Amino acid sequence: MSLKRIIKLKEGIKEARARELKELDMQIDALKEEVRLLDLQAESINEELKVSFSQSLLIRYKALMAKKKELTERIRQLELLRIEKRERLKEAYRDLKALEILRINKERENTIKNLNIEFQRMGFMHLIRRRWRDA
């Protein structure tokens, strides 16, 4: 398989990993927004509890806090997953850069090889012309 084809495959992998990371970031942002809304609801329930205590308000408050705890745990898990996916994306960038360097070096080697062959041909033709002229 040629380097150009491998580079295209790696670019596809890089784009897929970047897309996954972006989706994960959107999930985390949505969960953070949900936690923020839960905080606002909990704050309003807490204010109501201060004014008039009732068991139903206390139960709602505890339920909101339990849900908030679940969401923060889920956010923490997604943050760890995001770190892992970011490392995979960095790895894909490094691989892609290394392949680009290899491709450039291979092109340079081919150019140098072709130039050397061309110079040898030119030198040989020069010798033939000189010999033909001298003869």
Q: Does the residue 55 lie in any domain?
A: yes
Q: Does the residue 36 lie in any domain?
A: yes
- Closest alpha carbon to 48 in 59, 37, 33, 36: 59
Q: Does the residue 129 lie in any domain?
A: no
One-letter amino acid of 46: N
Specify the pTM.
Answer: 0.73
Q: Does the residue 132 lie in any domain?
A: no
Q: Are 64 and 36 in contact (CB under 8 A)?
A: no
pLDDT in tens, the chain (135 residues): 788 899 999 999 999 999 999 999 999 999 999 999 999 999 999 898 888 888 988 899 999 999 999 999 999 999 999 999 999 999 999 999 999 999 999 999 999 999 888 888 777 676 666 666 665
Q: Does the residue 126 lie in any domain?
A: no
Q: How many domains does the chain have?
A: 1
Amino acid 19: pLDDT: 97
Q: Are 107 and 4 in contact (CB under 8 A)?
A: no
Amino acid 131: pLDDT: 66
Q: Is 135 helix (H, G, I), strand (E, B) or coil?
A: coil
Sign of dihedral through CA atoms 24, 25, 27, 28?
positive
Question: Residue 46 belongs to what domain range?
Answer: 3-107
